[in-house]
Structure 1
Amino acid sequence: MSIKKLAGQTLWYGVPRIFSRFLSFGISLLGFQLFDPNGSYAFTQIYAVVPFLNILFTYGLETSYFRFAQDHDRQKLYNTLNVSIIITTILFTALLFLFEKPLTSFIGMQRHPEFVTWMIWIVFFDTLYTIPMARLRQEERPRKYAFINMFSVLLNVALVLFFFYVAKPAREADPYTFLGQLYRPEIGIGYFIISNVIASAACLLLLYKEFTSFRFEFDMKLWKEVMKYSYPLIIVGFGGMINEMLSRLVYQKVSTATVTQREFELGVFGANYKLAVLITIFIQIFRMAAEPFFFNQSRQEGAQRMYARVMKFFVIACCFMFLFIALFLEAWKVLIAGKHPEYAEGLHIVPVLSMASIFLGIYYNLSVWYKLTNKNMTGAYITIAGAVITILLNIWWIPQFKYTGAAWATFCCYFFMMAISYVLGQKYYPIPYPKKKLITYLVIVTLMYILHEMIARNLDPHSSYYKITYYGAGLLFFALFTLLIMKVERKELARLPFVGKFFARPATR
C-alpha cells in the first residue's frame, strides 16, 4: 500500500470518523450544558473506565489479527479469534456482574450503581464486533466500516435528543403519558449511557454478514501462537488509557478537597479534557488505516523510509491541530462554558493535554518496531513504567495543583513513553526519522502558543479591540506556520497525491 492509498483510506476512515466523533463530542458537550460539573462527574467517570475495559476484553486480538493474517489461513484465524473473544466476553461480563458492587465502590459510583450496569453492557456489545470490524479493515473495506460507525453515532445522538427534548418535556407536561413515562428525572445524565448501550447493540445487526461467515471452529495451536504475541498488547493498549483511568482514580484517593469539591474538579477536568479531542480523533482515525498498512508494508523494500515519511506527515498534521486548538481557546470556551462558566476555569490545561496527545500519537507510530520484531513485552514494560510515573506524579501534584497537576502528569507520562520507545526502537529496528526537524516543528508551535498567550494576557478582555487582536494574532501565527511548512517541505508536498501539483516547480527550459 502506497502513501497515496494510505491517505485515501485514512480519508475513508477519517471523514466519517471525524463527523461521528464530532457528533459524539457535541453530545458530551450537551451533557456539560445540561448538567453542572457535579452532575457531569458520573458521566466523566464512566467514560474513563469504558476504554480500560475495552482493552481488557479484547486483549490485543485486533492487532494480532492484522499480524497473523499476513502468513496464516485467514478464515481459520477469523474463526479461532471469534470463538476466543465470544467465550471470554461472556466470561468477563459474568465476572463483572458478580463483582459489580466492589467495582462500583472502586470507581466511586456508589451514588449511581445503575450506571455501572449499563457500562458493562456497552463493553459487552462493543467487544463482540471487534474481530468482524477488524476484518473489514484488514480486507480494506473502509466504506462499510465507516457506515457502521456513522450509524452507531447517529442512533446514539438521536436517542439522546429524544430523551431530553421529547420525553423530558412530555413528562413535564404530563408525567402519565406514554412519552412522559419514558423519562425519569433521577436518571439524568444516565440517559447518555443508555443511548450508548442501545446504539452499540444495534451495530451487531449491521454485521450480520460477517457473523454468518463465521464458523465455530477453534485451532488451539494457532490460538496459543496468537496469545503469545497478543497478551503483552493488553498492557500496551493501556498506554492511551492509563491517564484517563488512573488520573481520575488517583484523584479521588489523594485529593484533600471535600467530596463535593472533588467531584466538581473532576467534572471541570473531564470537560476540558474533551477539548483535546481533535488530536485524539486524528490519532484514532490514523491508526485505523495505519496499523494494517504498517504490517502490509513491512515486507516491502524501503519500509523503514516509508515509516519515516508517514511519521513526518503525522507530526505536521498534529502541529496544525495543536495550533487550531491552542490559539483559539476563547472560541472553544463557548462550547463548554456557555451555560456553566465554571467549566472555563480549567481552560489552561487544554494546550498541555493537547501536546500530551501528540506525544501519545508519536508513541503509537513508534510502536511499529516492537510489533514487527515480536517484542511486544517491551512495549508492555514501557506502558507499566508510564503508569508508575502517572501514579507518582498524581500523588505528588494533585494535592498541590488539583487537575492542573493531573494534566502535567499526563504530559510527563506520554513524553517518557515516546522518548524511551524512540531510543529502544532505534536499537532494535532503526528507522530514519527526521528527528531534528520534527522536534523543531513541535518547539515552534509551542513557542507560538506561549507568545500568543502573552499577547492575550496583556490585553483588556473587556475592551472593544480584544477579540480582534486575539483572533488576529492567532490567525497570523497559524498562517506563518503554514508558510514555513510549505517552504521547508515543498519537495515532500509535491510528491503527495491530489495536492502535489500545487507545489511542483515549473519545468525549466
Structure 2
Amino acid sequence: MSNFKKLAGQTAVYGLSSILGRSINFLMIIVYTEYLTKEAMGSFTSIYALIGFMNIVFTYGMETTFFRFATGKNLDANKVYNSTQSLLVTSTLLLGTGLYLMAPLLADWLEYPGQAYLFRWTALILSFDAILAIPFAKLRLENKALIFAGTKIFNIFLNIFFNLLLIVGFPYLIANGIISEGFLGYRSDWGVEYILLSNLLANGLIIPFVWWKAGFFQFKLEGTIIKPMWTYSIPLLFMGLAGVTNELFSRFLFEYVLPPNFYAGLSAREAGGVFGANFKLAIMMNLVIQAFKYAAEPFFFKQAQDKNSPLLYAKVMHVFILFCTVLMIAISVNLEWMGPLFLRQSGYEEGLFIVPTLLMGYMLLGIYFNLSIWFKITDQTKYSFWITLVGAILTIAIIFVFVPIWGYLGGALSTISCYFVMCLLCYLYGQKYYPIPYQTGKGIFYLLFSFSLSYLGFYLNIGIPVLDFFLRNSLILIYIGLIFFLEKEQIMAYFPKSKKY
C-alpha cells in the first residue's frame, strides 16, 4: 500500500505541472480561436502534428531506455546519463541541421509557399526539446518532482507570455497608436508564426537551468553502454513513430484527405482548424495520462523486482480506469457550455460531437501505457513495434477511407479504433509472457457504461437549460454511486477499522 501511495503522491506532483501548466496552455485555445483565422488554426494543427511526429525521431526512445539502464544493477547511473545525453546531443545536431536545410522543400511539399522559416523554427524547437529530454528524465529518476514540476510550469508561463504579447498585446498597442506597424519587425498578417516563435523562445530560455539542476554532463560515448541501449531503444523508436502516427496523423492528414467543399463555407485547411480545435477539448484526458506517465514509468521499473509487482500493476490499472471514466463523463455532459466558452468563433461547435469519442481514445492510450509495462521490464520491446505498427496502419487506413465520407467523425474514429486494437493485442501478448491479474471484466464494463453515459449526457436536451444542466450532471453522480456500490470492499480496505473499547 505504501508503494501505491507513493505513486499517487508523485502523480499528484507531476500532475501539478502537467495539469495546471497544460490547462493554462489549453486556455490559449480561447485566444487562438478569438484572434486567429480558421486557416491559421489549421496550420497550427498540422505543423504541431508534424512536430509531435518528429519529436519521436529526435529522441528515438532514449527516455525509456535511460530509465531501464540507469536503474540496472550493473551500470553506474551517472555513466548512463553522460553517454545518453552525449548521444542525443550528437544526433540532434545532425538531425536538426538536416531539417533546417530541408525547410524550403518542406514548405513547398506541405503547401506553405514562401514560408520556409516556419520549418526552420520547427527544426530549432525539436532540437531544444531533444537536448532537454534526458535531463528532465534524470530529474524524474532522482525523484526531484518539485524541480521538474516547477520548471515545466515556468516554461509554460513563458510560452503563454510570449503568445499573449505577440498575438494580443502588439495588435492592441498598434491599434491604439502606441507603437507602429513593423515595430521590432512585427507583422500583423502572421498567425501560426507567433505560436511557433513563442514556443521556440520559451524552450530556449530554460535550457541552462535544466542542465544545471540535472547536472552538467561529460561528453562521453562509451560503447559498452551505448550498444545495449541502442539495441533496446530502436524498437521503442518504431513504437513511438507508430504511436504518434496513431495520435497525430489524423490531425496532420485531415486537410489533405478531406474533399474540397466537404463542409460548406470552409476550405480543407479551415476544416482542419475546426477538427484540431475540438481535438484540443479532449486534451484534459491527455493531461491526466501525461501526469500519470511521468510518475509511473520510473516507478514501474523500480518495482519490477518485487514479487508482488503484478498485483500492484493491476491495482494501478483499475484505479486509472475508474478515475478516467469519471473524467470522461464529466467533460462530455458539459460540452454544451464548454464548447462556446473555449472555441470563441462560430463554426467550431460543428465538431463538438466527436469529443467524447476522442476522450475515450485518449483513455485507451492511457490503458495501453499501463499494459505496455510487460514488454518494457522483460526487454521484449520488439513486440511494441509490431503492436503499434498495426495501430498505425489501421489509423492511416481509416483516415483515407472514412474522412472523405464522414469528415470529422472519420478522423475521431481513427483514434479510438487504433488504440482499441493496440490495447487488445498488448493485453493478449502480455498475459502470455508476463501475466498480470487485471480486473478485465470490470474494466470493460466501466469503459462501455461510461462511454454510453457520455453520449447520453451530450445529446440529452429537454429544452430547459437549467434542467438540462442538472440532468446531465446527475449522470456523473449516478456513475460515481455505481463505483462505490461495486467497489465497496476495496474502498473500505483503504480505511483502518476503528478500535472498540
TM range (shorter): over 0.9
Q: Which moved more, 1:272-281 or 1:473-482?
A: 473-482
1:334 counterpart residue number = 340
In the alignment, the residues of structure 2 paired with residue 77 and residue 397 of structure 1 have an alpha-carbon distance, to the nearest angstrom, of 46
Q: CA deviation at 1:240?
A: 4.1
Identity of matched residues, %: 32
Aligned positions, number: 495
- Residue number among 415, 419, 423 corresponding to 1:414 in the alignment: 419
Letter in 2 for 1:423: L
Q: CA deviation at 1:506?
A: 5.0
In the alignment, the residues of structure 2 paired with residue 328 and residue 258 of structure 1 have an alpha-carbon distance, to the nearest angstrom, of 31
Letter in 1 for 2:307: E
Letter in 2 for 1:151: F
Q: CA deviation at 1:193?
A: 1.3
In the alignment, the residues of structure 2 paired with residue 252 and residue 224 of structure 1 have an alpha-carbon distance, to the nearest angstrom, of 41
Q: Secondary structure at the match of 1:185?
A: coil
In the alignment, the residues of structure 2 paired with residue 94 and residue 308 of structure 1 have an alpha-carbon distance, to the nearest angstrom, of 44
2:138 counterpart residue number = 135
Q: CA deviation at 1:135?
A: 0.4
Q: CA deviation at 1:33?
A: 1.7
In the alignment, the residues of structure 1 paired with residue 146 and residue 182 of structure 2 have an alpha-carbon distance, to the nearest angstrom, of 36
In the alignment, the residues of structure 2 paired with residue 185 and residue 62 of structure 1 have an alpha-carbon distance, to the nearest angstrom, of 40
2:206 is equivalent to residue 186 of structure 1: no
Q: CA deviation at 1:399?
A: 1.1
Structure 1 14/412 Cα, relative in aligned 2: closer, same or farther at 3 Å? same
1:304 counterpart residue number = 310
2:470 counterpart residue number = 472
Q: CA deviation at 1:507?
A: 5.7
In the alignment, the residues of structure 2 paired with residue 153 and residue 17 of structure 1 have an alpha-carbon distance, to the nearest angstrom, of 10
In the alignment, the residues of structure 1 paired with residue 214 and residue 481 of structure 2 have an alpha-carbon distance, to the nearest angstrom, of 50
| Two-structure CA RMSD over aligned residues (Å) | 2.0
In the alignment, the residues of structure 2 paired with residue 110 and residue 245 of structure 1 have an alpha-carbon distance, to the nearest angstrom, of 23
In the alignment, the residues of structure 1 paired with residue 17 and residue 438 of structure 2 have an alpha-carbon distance, to the nearest angstrom, of 30
- The answer to whether the Cα contact below 8 Å between 2:232 and 2:381 also exists between their aligned partners in 1 is yes
Q: Secondary structure at the match of 2:347?
A: helix
In the alignment, the residues of structure 1 paired with residue 158 and residue 18 of structure 2 have an alpha-carbon distance, to the nearest angstrom, of 15
What aligned pairs does 1:160-179 form with structure 2 within 5 A after superposition? 160-174=163-177
| C-alpha distance after superposition, 1:196-236 (max 9, x if no partner) | 10000011021242465311122112101001000111122
Q: Which moved more, 1:272-281 or 1:167-176?
A: 167-176
Letter in 2 for 1:69: A
Q: CA deviation at 1:238?
A: 3.2
Q: Secondary structure at the match of 1:480?
A: helix
In the alignment, the residues of structure 1 paired with residue 16 and residue 117 of structure 2 have an alpha-carbon distance, to the nearest angstrom, of 35
TM-score using structure 2 length: 0.94
Unaligned segments of structure 1, at least 5 residues: none
1:314 counterpart residue number = 320
2:245 counterpart residue number = 242
TM-score using structure 1 length: 0.93
2:400 counterpart residue number = 395
Q: Secondary structure at the match of 1:207?
A: helix
2:267 counterpart residue number = 261
2:150 is equivalent to residue 147 of structure 1: yes
2:285 is equivalent to residue 279 of structure 1: yes
Letter in 1 for 2:244: M
Q: CA deviation at 1:394?
A: 1.1
What aligned pairs does 1:96-115 form with structure 2 within 5 A after superposition? 96-110=99-113, 112-115=115-118
- Residue number among 416, 427, 433 corresponding to 1:428 in the alignment: 433
Structure 1 221/347 Cα, relative in aligned 2: closer, same or farther at 3 Å? same
2:227 is equivalent to residue 224 of structure 1: yes
- The answer to whether the Cα contact below 8 Å between 2:243 and 2:388 also exists between their aligned partners in 1 is no
In the alignment, the residues of structure 2 paired with residue 140 and residue 415 of structure 1 have an alpha-carbon distance, to the nearest angstrom, of 32
Q: CA deviation at 1:109?
A: 3.2
- The answer to whether the Cα contact below 8 Å between 2:35 and 2:168 also exists between their aligned partners in 1 is no
Q: CA deviation at 1:329?
A: 0.8
- The answer to whether the Cα contact below 8 Å between 1:42 and 1:112 also exists between their aligned partners in 2 is no
Structure 1 108/354 Cα, relative in aligned 2: closer, same or farther at 3 Å? farther
Q: CA deviation at 1:173?
A: 3.6
Structure 1 492/202 Cα, relative in aligned 2: closer, same or farther at 3 Å? farther
Q: Which moved more, 1:446-455 or 1:414-423?
A: 446-455
In the alignment, the residues of structure 2 paired with residue 474 and residue 440 of structure 1 have an alpha-carbon distance, to the nearest angstrom, of 21
Q: CA deviation at 1:63?
A: 0.3
- The answer to whether the Cα contact below 8 Å between 2:46 and 2:253 also exists between their aligned partners in 1 is no
Q: Secondary structure at the match of 1:68?
A: helix
2:80 counterpart residue number = 77
- The answer to whether the Cα contact below 8 Å between 2:256 and 2:268 also exists between their aligned partners in 1 is no
In the alignment, the residues of structure 2 paired with residue 167 and residue 249 of structure 1 have an alpha-carbon distance, to the nearest angstrom, of 30
- Residue number among 441, 445, 462 corresponding to 1:440 in the alignment: 445
| C-alpha distance after superposition, 1:360-392 (max 9, x if no partner) | 110111000111111111111111111111111
Q: CA deviation at 1:54?
A: 1.2
In the alignment, the residues of structure 1 paired with residue 409 and residue 415 of structure 2 have an alpha-carbon distance, to the nearest angstrom, of 10
In the alignment, the residues of structure 1 paired with residue 55 and residue 234 of structure 2 have an alpha-carbon distance, to the nearest angstrom, of 14
1:455 counterpart residue number = 460
In the alignment, the residues of structure 1 paired with residue 82 and residue 8 of structure 2 have an alpha-carbon distance, to the nearest angstrom, of 30
Q: Which moved more, 1:103-112 or 1:347-356?
A: 103-112
